Every structure is written in structure tokens, then in C-alpha cells.
Structure 1
Amino acid sequence: MRRASTLASSVLSRTLATAHGGVGVGVATSIAVHHNQRLLQVALYGSSSSSGASYTRWWSKSPARVLSLGVAGALISVAAAQEVHAKEPPPPELVPKDVVLYQYEACPFCNKVKAFLDYYDIPYKVVEVNPISKKEIKWSDYKKVPILMVDGEQLIDSSAIIDKLGGKIHSDKRADSKSDNDEEKKWRGWVDNHLVHILSPNIYRNTSEALESFDYITSNGNFSFSEKITVKYAGAAAMYFVSKKLKKKYNITDERAALYEAAETWVDGLNGRDFLGGCKPNLADLAVYGVLRPIRYLRSGKDMVEHTRIGDWYTRMENAVGESSRIKA
């Protein structure tokens, strides 16, 4: 609540100063029109008495005061509401000093790690690995991604990385019940053992979607110019056929139906809560969000949001995770 109070106090001070300087009306009008007109109106009328005459007399004596109070009230309400869905940075002493993620941009497991780092506002650098040569990770015996270097220590496997960092961050502040931890653990296992296996058959479902996916992969990956051309078309063709084998391996008959069913299963698991963690995301929320993030604006992800109830939760997660804490090299 401290963040909300600080924000509200700052806004109130600035608003009162500008209002009495003659520009408060402009500030209030801009905020009302562009941000939260209805909430501002409620705040303004809630500041008056039930008598219209009393309200008019107060307004005539100090219109700037009314606008200032209304704007401040509205922003306090907004700040308090946003606090529920805000990032959750750990105490400074628990934040690693040097974090480097070796990744493929489109990798769901890498995105799971990034969702964790972004939500907890842990600054990190990214090294995009060339999936053909893998020269960026030749120094490591582990030849997969993600690899996370944390203050010189190599961490591998997305779930193990999150367990290690999450254990440090929550060591002195987390007091979940055993049932909460069991639920979180169950859903994190569901992400790794079920949800991720549905993604490839969907994004490579047909030739057009395979090309769309590889256009995203090559546009965001670490490829030379010639590799981009080769990978886009040869890779799309290869993965189209691989996806058919994956369908058989994981007993998927209709890939879209499986994706929709998974999305609905997750929403059912929320049981009416904003997040599985309640009023704020837990590690399972971050895992689901992370692995879905690479497909969200591909055809498969758009279809998923259009045909299931997952869209509202996904939007809440986007707001909660917020901007990336990635440090530009």
C-alpha cells in the first residue's frame, strides 16, 4: 500500500499546486478525458453533499479545490487498484547483481524464465544463441537453452532456475499454506508435461502457420542473412512434418481442440480467482503466461483467445508482469 500512498500523495501535491496556479482545470480535464472519466466523475460527485445547492455553493467558492480533490481521489483509487496487479520486486539485498540469460527468443522455456525475471523486476542481459552453431554457449557443457548465469553461477532447466531464484526471493517473506504450494506445484508440472507439448503441433499446424512461426523465429533470432532465408523455408517445412509426429507421440487428434481444452482447463483451475495465486500471480501463473507468450500473437494464440475464456486472465498477467526488466546491451 506504500506505493499507492506515495503515488497518490505526489499526485495530490502536484495537482493542488497547479490548480491554484490557474492550470488545474486543464490538468483535470486532460486526466478525465484521456484516463478515467467515469471514475473522476464519481470522485467529484462523491465529494459533494447530497444537496445540489450545497454542491453548487462549494463549487462556486473553490472550483480548483473540488477538481483537485476529485482528481486526487480518482488517482488514489486507480493506484490502489493497480497495486494488486503490480510487479513484485524483492528487497534490494536479494536481487542478484549480474544476470545473463542465454536464450532463443521464441523458446517457451526461455520465456518462462523471462516472465519470472520481469515480474520480480530483476535486471538481466540477454544473449541470443544461434540455434545452428550454438557458438554463444560453446563454453558450457550444457548445450540447451535457457542457461542463466547468476553472479557467475550457471543455472540450467527453466523450472530448476525458477526454483533456485524463487527460493532466494521468497525465503523470508513467503508464508503460503501447504495446500497452496501443492496446487502451484501441480500446475507447474502440468505446464512442463502437458501444455508445452501442445504448442508445436499448433504453431506448425499447416504450411501457412509454419511459415508465420518461422518468420517470427528468424526475425527475432540470431541468424545471418543467409541463415534466415534457409531456416525460414526449410525449417518451416521440416517442422510441419515434425509436428505431425508430435501429435502422434502425445496422442493429439485435433491440435486446436487440444489447445482450447488446455486453456479452458487452466481457467477452470483459477476457480474464479484473478490469478492462481489469488490477488497476485504465483509461479504457476508465470509459467503458463511465459510459455504462451511466444504464440500469443500468432494465429494459434489469437484463435486461443478468441475461442476460450483465457483472454481476461492473460490481459491481467500482461499488466502484472509489465515491462521487461531486460537491460539493453
Structure 2
Amino acid sequence: MPAFLDYYNIQYKVVEVNPISKKEIKWSDYKKVPIVTVEGEQMVNSSDIIDTMFKRLHPEGSAKSSTSSEEEKEWLGWVDSHLVHVLSPNIYRTAGEALESFDYITSHGKSLKFGFMERMVAKYAGATAMYFVAKKLKKKYNITDERESLYQSAETWVDALKDREFLGGSKPNLADLAVFGVLRPIRYLQSGKDMVEHTRIGNWYSRMEEAVGESCRVTA
């Protein structure tokens, strides 16, 4: 989601969610992230948020008021139905990777004010909990080999590009932004490093980093 906002130079505030208490989203009936609120309206699911925000930028009557092709819609659906489900089993694949992920969360969350003890509890308790949750998700989504599933997903995406710079051609479309948005948080975790090393996705990812540019995030 931030990738879309960054690409369109839309300022936004981020409220990170404490992975243990989730107190920051107790107000919502929806208990997953991302959640976006715009003028009091709540939006959920990454691809749905992107599509809704795009339509806000290009109101009804514009030639760009909806996703431009069936291909784009297909891959937006793939992000929510497949790609997002591959991540947790990978970033929490081992105890070490789970700790790495939670260390990143608790160290880099700018709006979460962790004290030392709270940070340690969040890191170790969260990592332990998510390690076991990841095993359940692996079974739920019939993933036999976490890394192989991640690599296959990356290769599937590269194949979809058909030698284009982006799925959108010379510029990213909504599907490009959705895939990039899902992969960006893991890029410099072990899972993301492995993905770039063992698949062809690195060149596309680098082009997306350049296209999306600097973060438009503002201090909450």
C-alpha cells in the first residue's frame, strides 16, 4: 500500500501495529493489516485498497477510472489470493528468521514506542508465536517447501512481464505496485535476499525501487 502512495506522491501517516497486543487496531472489526482510513472511510485488503485509491485519483468519467486490462486485474487478484500467503511461512520459516523479522519490526517501527522490556517481549514472544503460526499457514496453503514456493512465485511474476520493463509496459501499473508493495518489507530480510539471489526478480525490483522513489510518509 505505501508503494502506491509513494509512487503517486501522496503524503500519508503510518501507525505500526504492536504484533502482540494489536491495540492500535482494536477500534476496527477487521483484525489484519493493512487498514487504510481516508476521510473516515475504512479500506482493507491491499489490492482492493489500491484499486479504490486509484479510482479516487481518477474519478468516474476519466479514461483511467478503473484498472485498464484483464491482465492487470488478474495479477491484482493473484497478489491477494497467492503471493501474500507465501510470505509468512518464509519470513518466520526458522526461529532465527522469525527473530530477525521481529527485531526489524520492533527496531524500525517509528510510531511504536517500545521500551526495552516491551521490545524484548514483543521480539521473543512474537517471534515464537509467529514461528508456529507460520507452520499452520504452510499447511493451510499446501506449501511443502517455503523457499521453493517463494522462488516459484517470483519466477511466475517475471514470466508474466514477458520481457517488458513492468507489467504496465514502460511504467508500473497497479499490479506492479501491488507486487512491489508486498515484497518491499521483506527485501532485506533473509527471505528477500534469498529470493533475489535465486530468481530473476532482482532487475524488475530495482526498476520498481527507482520508479517508486522516496517515501512520502510523514511523521504521525
Task: Give me the TM-score of the superposition, normalised by structure 2.
Answer: 0.89
Check if 1:130 corresponds to 2:10: no
Matched residues in 1 for 2:26 and 2:91: separation? 29
* Aligned partner of 2:82 among 194, 207, 227: 194
Q: Which amino acid aligns with 2:3?
A: A
Residues 202/132 of structure 1: CA separation in 2 closer, same or farther (3 Å cut):
closer
Residues 161/293 of structure 1: CA separation in 2 closer, same or farther (3 Å cut):
same
Residue 287 of structure 1 aligns with which residue? 178
Residues 300/248 of structure 1: CA separation in 2 closer, same or farther (3 Å cut):
same
* Aligned partner of 2:48 among 139, 160, 165: 160
**Superimposed CA distance per residue, residues 272-302 of structure 1 (whole angstroms, 9 cap, x where no aligned partner):** 0000000100110001000001110011101
Residues 295/219 of structure 1: CA separation in 2 closer, same or farther (3 Å cut):
same
Q: Which amino acid aligns with 1:264?
A: E
Matched residues in 2 for 1:144 and 1:260: separation? 25
Residue 302 of structure 1 aligns with which residue? 193
Percent of matched pairs sharing the same residue: 72
Q: Which amino acid aligns with 1:286?
A: L
- When Rg is computed on C-alpha atoms for both structures, the one with the higher figure is 1
Check if 1:174 corresponds to 2:94: no
Residue 268 of structure 1 aligns with which residue? 159
**Superimposed CA distance per residue, residues 280-329 of structure 1 (whole angstroms, 9 cap, x where no aligned partner):** 00110001000001110011101110111000000000000000111224
Matched residues in 2 for 1:204 and 1:140: separation? 26
Work out the number of aligned pairs and report it: 215
Matched residues in 2 for 1:220 and 1:167: separation? 32
Residues 238/137 of structure 1: CA separation in 2 closer, same or farther (3 Å cut):
closer
The higher-RCO structure (CA 8 Å, 6+ apart) is 2
- The Cα shift of 1:127 comes to 2.2
- The Cα shift of 1:173 comes to 4.7
Residue 110 of structure 1 aligns with which residue? none
Matched residues in 2 for 1:200 and 1:117: separation? 24
- The Cα shift of 1:138 comes to 4.0
- The Cα shift of 1:158 comes to 2.6
Residue 245 of structure 1 aligns with which residue? 136
- The Cα shift of 1:260 comes to 0.7
Matched residues in 2 for 1:309 and 1:121: separation? 28
**Superimposed CA distance per residue, residues 7-48 of structure 1 (whole angstroms, 9 cap, x where no aligned partner):** xxxxxxxxxxxxxxxxxxxxxxxxxxxxxxxxxxxxxxxxxx
Check if 1:211 corresponds to 2:99: yes
Q: Which amino acid aligns with 2:186?
A: I
**Superimposed CA distance per residue, residues 150-198 of structure 1 (whole angstroms, 9 cap, x where no aligned partner):** 234333333322222111223325288x8x5210111111111111111
Is the 8 Å Cα contact of residues 6 and 214 (structure 2) preserved in structure 1?
Answer: yes
* Aligned partner of 1:313 among 204, 208, 211: 204
**Superimposed CA distance per residue, residues 118-144 of structure 1 (whole angstroms, 9 cap, x where no aligned partner):** 111111122223343444344444443
Check if 1:150 corresponds to 2:38: yes
- The Cα shift of 1:232 comes to 1.3
Task: Give me the TM-score of the superposition, normalised by structure 1.
Answer: 0.61
CA RMSD of aligned residues (A): 2.0
Q: Which amino acid aligns with 2:94?
A: N
**Superimposed CA distance per residue, residues 177-235 of structure 1 (whole angstroms, 9 cap, x where no aligned partner):** x8x52101111111111111111111111121111111112212323432211121122
Query: Which runs of 5 or more structure 2 residues have no equivalent in the other structure?
Result: none
Matched residues in 1 for 2:134 and 2:16: separation? 24
* Aligned partner of 1:236 among 111, 127, 143: 127
Query: Which runs of 5 or more structure 1 residues have no equivalent in the other structure?
Result: 1-112
Residue 39 of structure 1 aligns with which residue? none
Q: Secondary structure at the match of 1:297?
A: coil
Residues 139/196 of structure 1: CA separation in 2 closer, same or farther (3 Å cut):
closer
Matched residues in 1 for 2:3 and 2:85: separation? 19
Residues 239/153 of structure 1: CA separation in 2 closer, same or farther (3 Å cut):
closer
